[in-house]
Amino acid sequence: MKLLIDKVMQEGIVLDNEVLKVDSFLNHQMDPVLMQEIGREFARLFAGQSITKVLTIESSGIAPGIMTALALNVRLIFARKRKSLTLTEDIFVEKVYSFTKQETNEITVSRKFLAPGDKVLIVDDFLANGEAAFGLARIVEQAGAEVAGIGIVIEKSFQPGRRVLTKAGYRVESLVRVASLAGGKIELV
Ligand code: 5GP
């Protein structure tokens, strides 16, 4: 996706040689035209998979997730990182270690939104160690539903996420693959 690659190269800021800050178009300010293109691209990549739901995690996964759900004409569910006071019903819970916050969060999804027979596309903004995607996949499997694939906006290919998810049998499609952030320089695969 040229539009996304250009944004990453022009606006991405490297922190600590392994974290990419993209708050001008993805993680704080958001670019809706770019998000729409991202959603269309995931819909194209996973066309023909009979996807019934898109699943992401709050908050940065919601924008690419909703655009993907729109393009696939299905609904989006976002896992919550904090237990909501209004979330009184039965929930699926998984523990996820956050790469950027260096803490473990319990992520939750209401049981009423996932069921056996669902084919779920997981979408997230970044892939580092694969913790978030794995936690979401475990929730899909707790529900007896199927993971159709994992769509990632920016993959850091120098971290193990893709390898561990692929080894576990999941199809991973990343729109941008970053080979290295060493020396403060963004290099793509
Ligand atoms: P993982 O769970 O694969 O280890 O890390 C992915 C999650 O951590 C994403 O949901 C994303 O929020 C966050 N993350 C990981 N690496 C980066 C990064 O380089 N930049 C930003 N902005 N977020 C990241």
DSSP string spanning the chain? -HHHHHHHHHH-EEETTTEEE-TTTTSSS--HHHHHHHHHHHHHHTTTS---EEEEETTTTHHHHHHHHHHHTSEEEEEBSS--TT--S-EEEEEEEETTTTEEEEEEEEGGG--TT-EEEEEEEEESSSHHHHHHHHHHHHTT-EEEEEEEEEEETTSSHHHHHHHTT--EEEEEEEEE-GGG--EE-
Q: What is the CA radius of gyration of the chain?
A: 16
Q: Which two tokens stand for residue 181?
A: 């952030």
CB 125 less than 6 A from any atom of ligand 1 = yes
The pLDDT of residue 99 is 84
For the chain, the distance separating the N- and C-terminal CA atoms, rounded to the nearest angstrom, is: 13
Q: Is the peptide bond before 59 cis (omega within 30 degrees of 0)?
A: yes
| Best residue for ligand 1 mutational test, from 21, 62, 125, 153 (most atoms within 8 Å of Cβ) | 125
Q: How many domains does the chain have?
A: 1
How far, in Å, from the CA of 98 to the mean position of ligand 1?
Answer: 7
Q: What is the CATH number of the domain that holds 78?
A: 3.40.50.2020
Q: What is the pTM of this model?
A: 0.96
The pLDDT of residue 84 is 62
CB 128 less than 6 A from any atom of ligand 1 = yes
Neighbours of 144 (CB within 10 A): 11
How far, in Å, from the CA of 178 to the mean position of ligand 1?
Answer: 13
Q: Can you tell me which atom of ligand 1 is nearest the CA of 131?
A: 2
Per the structure, the complete domain to which residue 61 belongs is given by 2-188
Q: Can you tell me which atom of ligand 1 is nearest the CA of 60?
A: 12
The interface pTM score, or ipTM, of the predicted complex is: 0.98
How does pLDDT run across 72-113, given as a tens digit for each residue?
Answer: 999 999 999 976 656 567 999 999 998 888 899 899 999 999
Collect contacts of 74-77 with beta carbons under 8 A, ≥24 apart: 75/113, 77/53, 77/109, 77/113, 77/114
How does pLDDT run across 18-52, given as a tens digit for each residue?
Answer: 999 999 999 999 999 999 999 999 999 999 999 99
The pLDDT of residue 171 is 98
Q: What angle do CA 41, 36, 171 make, to 5 degrees?
A: 30
In whole angstroms, give the CA distance from residue 121 to residue 53: 6
